[in-house]
Each structure stands twice: as C-alpha cells, then as structure tokens.
Amino acid sequence: MEMTEPITWTCTGCALLCEDIQVYIKDNRVEKVEHACLKGKARVYGCKHTAMSTVDQEEVDVNNAIRQAAEILEEARNPLLYGWSNSTSEAQVAGIELAQTLGACIDSTSSFCQGITINEIINGSVPSCTLDEVREKADVVIYWGADPMSSHPRHLSRYSYFPRGELRQRGYEEDRTAICIDVTQSRTAKICKGMFFSIPPGGDAEFMQALMDGLAGRVPKLSYDFDVKRILELAAVLKKAEFGVIFAGLGLVYSIKEEFDLISEFMSTLNRFSNFFLIPMAGHFNMRGFNHNLHEETGFIHRVGFTKNGPVSGVEYSVVEQLKHGADAVMVVGSDPLASLPLSISRRLKDIPLILVDPCSNLTTRVADVTIPCGVSGIEVGGTAIRLDGKKMDISPLIQGDGLSDEMIVRRIMEEVS
C-alpha cells in the first residue's frame, strides 16, 4: 500500500485534546491512526450509522429539515437548546446567539457533569493550573473520584504520572506520588498501589474534613470505619508537596454537590501548608468551551434562560428541570440525551417537538421530529476548543465532509427564524 505523509492532528475523542496524533489520509479517507487511544480511534473512524436529514422520520432535503426546525423553535413558547459539548466553540457561540434570538433556555452536558467545578475555577474560588504545568512540575497527584485510565486513557502517560518533566526528571519511579481516593479499586487506583484510599459511597465530604483535621494537627474523626493513621500519613504527604494537583472526577463532584463550598475550603486549608491546584475531569472534548463561551456572553457558565430582562441562570433552567416541566420544544446538538439522561426524565422527549443536529444516528434520532446531519467536529469541521484544564486549542479538520457544519446549521436556522 502506498503510504502518505501523516498529518499531525488534535484528537477530539475527549477533553484531553491530544495534539500529537498522527493520521494517514488517502483519497479523503483515514487510512491509519497512530498514538491515539481507543476513544480517539473510535472518534477518527467515526460512527457506523450516519444521521439522515428527516422530518417526522421521513427522509427530506436538508433545507426542508432546517426550515422545519426553525418553524418548531419559532412556535415554541419555551424552547431549550441543549448539548454543545461535542461542538467547536464557534458552533457554541452560534448556539448562544440563537438562544438569545429565540428567548430560549440553553444548557450543556456540563449541567450534570463538571459544570459546578468549572464554575468555581472560572470564578476564582478554586486555584487551577494547566496540564503542561502538571507534566513539568507536579510531584503529588490525587485522582479523587476519577479514573482517567478508563475515561481519559492518555492522561497519566502524557501529563499526570508517567512522563519526565522539567522538575521531575526521575519521573513516576521517584519523582511523583499518585494517590487515588475512590469507592472501588479502579484501573487508576491499581497504579497508585499503596496510595489507594477506599471510601464508602458518599463518604467524600467526611474524608475531606478528616484530611483537613489531619493537616491542622487534629485527630481526624469519621463516622465510617477507616484507619486514622492512614489519613495522617496522607496529610503528611500532601503537606510536603511542592506542586500538587487534585483531578476531580464525577465520583467526588456528585458526592459533595450539595456542599460544594467544601472544595474551596479544602483547597484553602491545603494551601496554607502546601501548593495545590484542582483540575476538573471534563469528558466531552469541548464541554469546558461551552462554559467559557457562555460565561463570556452572559456571566453564567450553564443553565441560562434568555428573558426580557436579560440572561438569568438557575437550576430551573437546567436541562433536567426543563425536560421535566418546562421546555415545550428541544433542539439537541451533538448529544444523545436518550442514552445519557435518566429514562425517567428523557422519555418526555417523545412527547414534545424534538430537533436533533448530529453526525450520527443514535437513540435520540429514533424519536426526533427533525434530524439534521452535520459534519463531525474535529474530523470534518475545524475551529477551536477548550481543553479540560482551560487551555484554548485549535482543531483542524482531517477530511472534507459532504454536509454542513453544526455552526452553519445553527446559523441557517437563525436566518430562517429572523
């Protein structure tokens, strides 16, 4: 086989946005991929069933589908625009403009993911750093309720544990300590060996409080069975850290979501003795981008309603609350809520007009009133995205697609609505 020159590509398989992927293209098709993880390869090779342009499940011309989508949104009294984490920042900005034009609600998957953590970072309540700084400087890394070996497979090898760094020339063997706090011995926990701390479900807040006691020289108290000596030993390791990082996973976020101020209190306590930062383990490639883009426009990171008095934010504008008793039409961009939300909530999508903009045929496609296929962001569509640590990245398309980008579709709908 004749081998072409590889293209260096930024992967949109997850929010790590690995920029060292080598892709061989021949005749506008991906021939071979190097350096990518399983998730990255799945993203590059794409889905087996691509979406079709449909209205009422019948195939139509894409222009008709766009017109029908605009009609649904115009007729709705309380439309919701949802998804966005698999879109470029340019498409997200277009979506925010459309929501403003319609007086709609807009929310993203961050609403029930890392939004709450990203909000603390954007507002300056919690110190954060970049993955590049982690690679060069970090000597203590904590995976708390996070299992990057399963969610972000190259996290440890590219940044957080295995690589040599400017101040960590002896790498993981001598220069880095990896700690895992979780309810199960995950793949990541196995790497942390003697530094795995098994806690009961919902036990994170107490463990955090116990660690703060340990840091302050008090005897930690816990309502569940745990060897206090191990907490004191962990506190000692944290105190000695030169550059420590907590990778906050959903295990932590969900466990303490109703007392989230504890995170900033914990970081402040920790940083009286040490130098720690927190990075949220955002999943989809541009989930954090949505938060930054919406924040720039409205001052809020998600769950926004555009009212006559301007943008407002609150839990009542969240996707789950809107689906339960709010939205009377929904446009989903780059997400599959029927697969990713509780069925007790997502089943309402069958009862209200639903528009889906997505490259692939998925579960939501099967119940959508209008589907509009779009190019795959990062494969057929370029733009920018924000990595899970907040770094802005350029995304270049790999191949020429046939269809419209999600940004173009949103802008076409906006023209029809206007």
Partner 1 sequence: MALDVGKFIKAPEYDIKIITRRDVFQASVCEEDCFSDECLELSALIVLDAAEMKRMGIQDGANVRLTSIWGSVVVRAMASPREEQKGLGFMVNGPWVNALVSDETPGGIPAFKDIEVKISISKDGMTGIKELFLL
Interaction site with partner 1 (CB under 8 A): 37-39, 41-43, 45-49, 111-112, 116, 147, 149-151, 153, 183-186, 198, 200-202, 250-251, 254-255, 257-258, 283, 303, 315, 318-321, 324, 336, 338-346, 362-363, 366-367
In the complex with partner 1, which residue's Cβ is closer, 363 or 417? 363
Rank residues 139 and 369 by Cβ distance to partner 1 and give the closer one: 369
Dihedral of the alpha carbons of 291, 297, 303, 309, in degrees to the nearest 10: 170
DSSP symbol at 257:
G
| Both structure tokens of 410 | 């949103």
Instruction: Give 201's DSSP letter.
Output: T
Q: Give me the least distance between CB of 3 and partner 1, in Å please.
A: 25
- The C-alpha atoms of residue 204 and residue 127 are separated, in whole angstroms, by 20
Sheet strands side by side (includes 140-144): 196-198, 177-182, 140-144, 244-248, 276-280
Helices 115-122 and 261-273: crossing angle, nearest 10°? 50
Q: Cβ distance 166 to 128 under 8 Å?
A: no
* Rounded least distance, CB 318 to partner 1, Å: 3
CB atoms near residue 297 (< 10 Å): 18
What is the β-pairing status of strands 244-248 and 276-280?
parallel
Q: Which is nearer to partner 1, 336 or 369 (CB)?
A: 336
User: What is the nearest approach in angstroms of partner 1 to the Cβ of residue 4?
Assistant: 24
* 215/327 with CB nearer partner 1: 327
Q: Which is nearer to partner 1, 57 or 271 (CB)?
A: 57
In the complex, least distance from residue 88 CB atom to partner 1, rounded to whole angstroms: 18
Question: Considering beta carbons, is residue 171 or 202 the nearer one to partner 1?
Answer: 202
Question: To the nearest whole angstrom, how small is the minimum distance from the Cβ of residue 120 to partner 1?
Answer: 14
Of the pair 18, 37, the CB lying nearest partner 1 is at: 37
What are the DSSP calls for 290-334, one per residue? HHHHHHHHHS-SS-EEEETTEEEE-GGGSHHHHHHHT-SEEEEES
CB of residue 104 to partner 1, shortest distance in Å: 17
Determine the number of helices (DSSP H) and then strands (DSSP E) in the chain. 18, 19
* Shortest separation between residue 175's beta carbon and partner 1, angstroms: 27
Is 57 or 63 the residue whose CB approaches partner 1 more closely? 57
The amino acid at 48:
K
CB of 241 to partner 1, least distance (A): 27
Tokens standing for 404?
């419209």
CA gap 314, 263 in Å, rounded? 20
Q: How far apart are CA 228 and CA 9, in angstroms?
A: 48
Residue 163, burial from CB neighbour count under 10 angstroms (0-12, 13-18, 19+): middle
Cβ closer to partner 1: 270 or 354?
Answer: 354
Q: In angstroms, what is the minimal distance from the CB of 131 to partner 1?
A: 19
d(CA 49, CA 45): 12
